[in-house]
Structure 1
Amino acid sequence: MDNYKQLVFGAKPKWTVILSATACGASALVLLLKWFGHQQSWKKIQEAKVRREKSLQRAEYAVCQFNESHPETDTSLILSLSLAELSKQLKDGTLTPQAVFHSYMEKTLEVNRRLNCCTEVLLESWDQLEDIDSHKDGLLYGVPVSIKENIGYKGHDSTCGVICKLDLPATGDSVLVEVLKRQGAIPFVKTNVPQGLQSFDCGNPIYGLTLNPHNPQKTSGGSSGGEGALIGGGGSVLGIGSDIGGSIRIPSSFCGICGFKPTANRLSLRGASSCIRGQKSVLSSLGPMARDVDSLALCMHALLCDHMFILDPTVPPIPFNQQVYQSSKPLRIGYYENDGYAMPSPSMSRALRETKALLEKAGHTLVSFSPPRLIYAIHELGIRGLLGDGCTTLLSNLKGGPVDPCLRVQIIPYSLPRTVKKILSVLLKPIFPRIAASLDSLRGVGSVQDLWRHHADVEDYMHEVIAEWRRCELDVLLCPMIGPAYIHNYPGQLISTITYTFIYNLLNFPAGVVPVSTVTAEDEEELRHYKGNYGDVWDKLYKKAVTGGEGLPVAVQCVALPWQDELCLRFMREVEMLVREDKK
């Protein structure tokens, strides 16, 4: 027997054998638990897909029934109307809410089949439609409104594209959804987002990839990419998105529509979901997206009402200032063509120059301006603050399931230990200074004391920019807007280019985008010689990302000081009007 034990176990002591067996058992258990977890994740994903498919099928059936009983409905006419025209005809009874609702529902279903931009139809919207005349005095009476997936709607998930938030339906409507309903609007569909809301691409493991309405090889942008695609494709006349680094403005630019990021907390965020809730260094905003600026202004006018101020007393009770929005006095406008960090594409530069010329011709004064210490602001204040815990919270939301291809490359540096990030940043600094600075900022801020100091630095920087703004005596600012739309999966590799939008989230300045042109053959030819400001890997990737963009929309960005949202919208309307007149 002893010889047998020697043969089987060798000369090892019994406790070593026991430990080895325990370790093997533990490893097997871990693998089993991981397998079980992935099985549960896939089950949740499949259930979510089934729910979406059922909602789409029921919506399609309801639309068919309505069309059969109302063959006189002129869907093409309804879809061609601006929000102002649509609202007017709903108010005077020329159009019925039922005809408008089913026309947009039908178009949404068609656009979604092409672009995969919707996460589910809100079937409760039919119940609201039956009772819609009780809100006939609302500024948005009878208007169907699409909402970004992370905006709370009672009984429905707000997953932010991550599996751990599946099967956690909202217990009540978000404040903005409540206000939309009070104003007579009908939230009827939720729209797609990138995983974790952390990319300006638009794909996640639950709902898949959203395509650009102008070119399916290109992304619709993010994180409000489903909204951009749906509105740009004609399936919605008005939508609500959110913006923490350009998430309203980028998809608006890529999809050829208008989008507005208000001053943070001008509109209530209560009931909107996030994967980094509690982060205060860079503030998020909810805001409208639509085909024209007047639609954005009408939406802001409707939302900035007593009902919202009562539902969320933390929002300053500042009604919409129609007088400022409708003003026509000449403006003193700052501008810059290149922020010195990410060189704009040829079409971006041309759009900026042409818009500047139109504004000067109209009697406005244009003066050169650039945000001071931009690299410091983006890396040391912006990224370091946004991911202040070293990416821990964000990464925890991605556990338990696959990482989407849109986010995969971006997540790799997030996952590195803080020490490794620091070592790599030091090694890369002489060769790739932008990449090195980005890696270092991903380490976060460290201690609570460091966080407080960081918040103070952000506040100081904001006042530094405002002081320079005042010195130049500016009313508003004109600057390039990221574009044209990138090829899918490139945004996750190109966080360098969001400097044009991200800086105004850090500063908490209201900002919006207006489409002003399209990419020309000449732009594409000039792009062949693009070198960028640094000539590094990011510049080379950017050139590839925007190549093949002929015919795609190009926008400019309009900016104002905090709480001057109406002035920003007025400036956007001025740009829109001048561009329209120039094209006649």
Structure 2
Amino acid sequence: MDSSWQQIAADKKSHQLDSVPKEWISSAQSLPSEKTLNVIDFPQESNVLSALDREITESSVASLLSNLASSKWSSVQVTTSFYKRAIVAHQLTNCLTEIFVPRSLARARELDEYLEKTGTVVGALHGLPISLKDQISIKNIESTIGYVSWIGQFAKQNSVLVDILESLGAVPFVKTNVPQTLMWAETFNHVFGRTSNPYNRSLTSGGSSGGEGALIALKGSPLGVGSDIGGSIRIPAGYCGLYGFRPSYNRIPYAGCVNTMEGGDSILSVLGPLSNTLDGIKIFFKAVMSKEPWLKDPMVIRKRWSEEEYNLADHGNGKNLCFAIMWDNGVVVPDPPVRRGLEITKAALLAAGHRVIDWKPYKQAEITKNINDIWTAAAVEDFKRAAAPTGEPIITSMALQQDTEPLVFHPSDGGISAFELWQLQKKKRDLRQEHLNRWEETVNQTGTGRPVDAIICPMAPHTAPPHGLNKIPQYTLPWNLLDYPALIIPVSQVDQELDAKQPREDFYTADDRANYEQYDPATYENAPISIQVVGRTGEEEATIAMSEIIDQALKGAQSQP
């Protein structure tokens, strides 16, 4: 290419809003100033949205689908309302990448005409706008995943998941921002820039599905799809106050998506949903399973949605469940707000008649080292090859000031041999076996006659931190290596009085001390507090059902005087 990478990126960014009607774009004067950190309620005040737009975009996924199926609201109306709110969200947090208004509205119009003509819906997601992480391929649209060198590479076909979503009647309408390489727990790249947290724009929205997190938190999308190899769905969900679900390997089809570190199949990235409402998680998962994705993606396990598992047949039919709380991981002690979120959850579950015991962390640091050593084997070469065509630099920090740190992945001199990689993967297998055994052994502690039903733990040792400071993924990474499904549930928000800093003298690790010293409740003002619910491999239906029970218990406790 003749142009510099900076010019290529600037040209791409400058055309981002070309397809958006001007009346949907707020004037600079009408937007909050940069000094306004909390913008979560601004869309409700925006003069871009009508009363009907606000009603539609603040509805649950189940309500939207019901009103679409009954023709109370047309798909064109619903898609337009979410488009308008998505553009507001983007102007507040920089959460979008690809925007394709004419294409999506044409699709919505087809769905409306089909319903009017036949009296039936196309499928379980009829008329519903769905946002997609940038790496999910849509035919004739780019998926740059933050690489300047990938600008101009248009997808030749849909990813399998997009084909399935469209067959269910969904309307893909925007793609969302990610970090360059995808392998960051924050969201910044040279093409589209940085995404911030709508609850406090001095804080990160998380990553790598950070655009999804910010967009959905502002209700600019009812349901989005992210990916997760080390926490990339759960971290944005937790930091942005959403529900987000990381399923087990190979249940949601991944075929046709673009990615980094392809071929490193020891620890798989998985796709999963994010939503403001928990019903969106179940609706998405059940709908995708209904289309037999194993017939379209050879990696997908042949397993249909199981109503029996959802009804918790293996978990006492959902009565008198026993949850285990992992208060910390033996590596980094969580900040006061995170601890408070766990205490709120424990009290709510006990009040609802369930049992709660403690989960003793096991080899959490060893798991984290194993997963990082596996990634280290080839990650740097992968990133450099992707960036080389334009000469764009590999981002080495998510800080506001760039180039302040070395690259995250540090390969040993000359890399490692295939044999050495095999030893790491053998260790991973052994760690999975050990954890299966430990889970089974809890049958002696629960009092239910079966092992612990699910683990509840932090999603991170802190709520959303300032940009560049999200460096401790040890609360999400282990479940990726162990392949446990995990679902994020919002609980509360940081309160400066309730979450005051507590004195400590003893620390597990240097990271533990650094995290403690970093904490100041004023820094984390308004940040959401979330918990993580962890099930056993392949128990997606049960994990969703148990999360619903926990969520109901939390809501019930909050409604008490």
After TM superposition, is the score higher than 0.5?
yes
The 3 A distance-change label for structure 1 pair 375 and 288 is same
The 3 A distance-change label for structure 1 pair 417 and 259 is closer
- C-alpha contact 1:122 1:190 (8 A) present in aligned 2: no
- C-alpha contact 2:332 2:511 (8 A) present in aligned 1: no
Tell me which residue corresponds to 2:524: 549
The farther-off stretch of 539-548 and 102-111 is 539-548
Match of 1:338 among 312, 328, 342: 328
Does 2:505 correspond to 1:516? no
Does 2:220 correspond to 1:235? yes
The 3 A distance-change label for structure 1 pair 519 and 416 is closer
Tell me which residue corresponds to 1:97: 75
Question: How far apart, CA to CA, are the structure 2 residues paired with 1:157 and 1:499?
Answer: 32
Tell me which residue corresponds to 1:488: 467
Tell me which residue corresponds to 1:22: none
1:173 Cα offset (Å): 0.6
Q: 1:349-405: CA deviations, max 9, x gaps?
A: 1111221221122222222223422221111x2100122226322343344114445
Query: Residues 273-284 of structure 1: matches in 2 within 5 Å?
Result: 273-284=258-269
Query: Residues 182-221 of structure 1: matches in 2 within 5 Å?
Result: 182-221=167-206
- C-alpha contact 1:391 1:415 (8 A) present in aligned 2: yes
Question: How far apart, CA to CA, are the structure 2 residues paired with 1:78 and 1:415?
Answer: 44
Match of 1:127 among 77, 95, 106: 106
The 3 A distance-change label for structure 1 pair 410 and 309 is farther
1:581 Cα offset (Å): 1.1
Question: How far apart, CA to CA, are the structure 2 residues paired with 1:125 and 1:334?
Answer: 44
Match of 1:406 among 395, 398, 407: 398
Q: 1:6-51: CA deviations, max 9, x gaps?
A: xxxxxxxxxxxxxxxxxxxxxxxxxxxxxx87x4312321231133
- C-alpha contact 2:485 2:535 (8 A) present in aligned 1: yes
- C-alpha contact 1:340 1:533 (8 A) present in aligned 2: no
Question: How far apart, CA to CA, are the structure 1 residues paired with 2:517 and 2:249?
Answer: 33
The 3 A distance-change label for structure 1 pair 535 and 416 is closer
The 3 A distance-change label for structure 1 pair 308 and 545 is farther
Larger radius of gyration: 1
The residue identity in structure 2 corresponding to 1:370 is K
Tell me which residue corresponds to 1:319: 304
Q: 1:87-116: CA deviations, max 9, x gaps?
A: 111111221111111111111111111111
Does 2:126 correspond to 1:141? yes
Tell me which residue corresponds to 2:353: 363
- C-alpha contact 1:56 1:120 (8 A) present in aligned 2: no
Question: How far apart, CA to CA, are the structure 1 residues paired with 2:85 and 2:516?
Answer: 34
Query: Residues 469-480 of structure 1: matches in 2 within 5 Å?
Result: 469-472=439-442, 473-480=451-458
Tell me which residue corresponds to 1:28: none
Tell me which residue corresponds to 2:37: none
The 3 A distance-change label for structure 1 pair 537 and 316 is closer
Question: How far apart, CA to CA, are the structure 2 residues paired with 1:532 and 1:157?
Answer: 50
Query: Residues 552-563 of structure 1: matches in 2 within 5 Å?
Result: 552-563=527-538
Does 2:50 correspond to 1:56? no
Question: How far apart, CA to CA, are the structure 2 residues paired with 1:152 and 1:330?
Answer: 43
User: Unaligned 5+ residue runs, structure 2?
Assistant: 26-48, 116-120, 313-317, 443-450
Question: How far apart, CA to CA, are the structure 2 residues paired with 1:157 and 1:108?
Answer: 19
User: Unaligned 5+ residue runs, structure 1?
Assistant: 1-35, 62-70, 420-442
Tell me which residue corresponds to 1:573: 548
Tell me which residue corresponds to 2:446: none
- C-alpha contact 1:342 1:532 (8 A) present in aligned 2: no
Percent same amino acid among aligned pairs? 29
1:332 Cα offset (Å): 2.2
- C-alpha contact 2:200 2:526 (8 A) present in aligned 1: no
More helix by share: 1
- C-alpha contact 1:306 1:317 (8 A) present in aligned 2: no
Question: How far apart, CA to CA, are the structure 1 residues paired with 2:9 and 2:325?
Answer: 46
Tell me which residue corresponds to 2:55: 77
The residue identity in structure 2 corresponding to 1:127 is A
Tell me which residue corresponds to 2:253: 268
1:460 Cα offset (Å): 1.4
1:311 Cα offset (Å): 1.6
Residues paired across the two proteins, number:
509
The farther-off stretch of 194-203 and 326-335 is 326-335
Does 2:435 correspond to 1:465? yes
C-alpha RMSD over aligned residues: 2.4
Q: 1:184-233: CA deviations, max 9, x gaps?
A: 11000000011111211111110011111111111111000000000001
Question: How far apart, CA to CA, are the structure 1 residues paired with 2:516 and 2:387?
Answer: 27
Tell me which residue corresponds to 1:418: 412
Question: How far apart, CA to CA, are the structure 2 residues paired with 1:517 and 1:88?
Answer: 29
Runs of 4+ in 1 over 4 A off after TM superposition: 407-411, 413-417
- C-alpha contact 2:242 2:275 (8 A) present in aligned 1: yes
- C-alpha contact 1:486 1:545 (8 A) present in aligned 2: no
- C-alpha contact 1:371 1:465 (8 A) present in aligned 2: no
The farther-off stretch of 139-148 and 516-525 is 516-525
Question: How far apart, CA to CA, are the structure 2 residues paired with 1:170 and 1:113?
Answer: 26
1:579 Cα offset (Å): 1.1
- C-alpha contact 2:378 2:411 (8 A) present in aligned 1: no
Question: How far apart, CA to CA, are the structure 1 residues paired with 2:506 and 2:60?
Answer: 39
Question: How far apart, CA to CA, are the structure 1 residues paired with 2:268 and 2:361?
Answer: 18
Q: 1:525-581: CA deviations, max 9, x gaps?
A: 226x46673463663256436652132210000011111001111121112111111
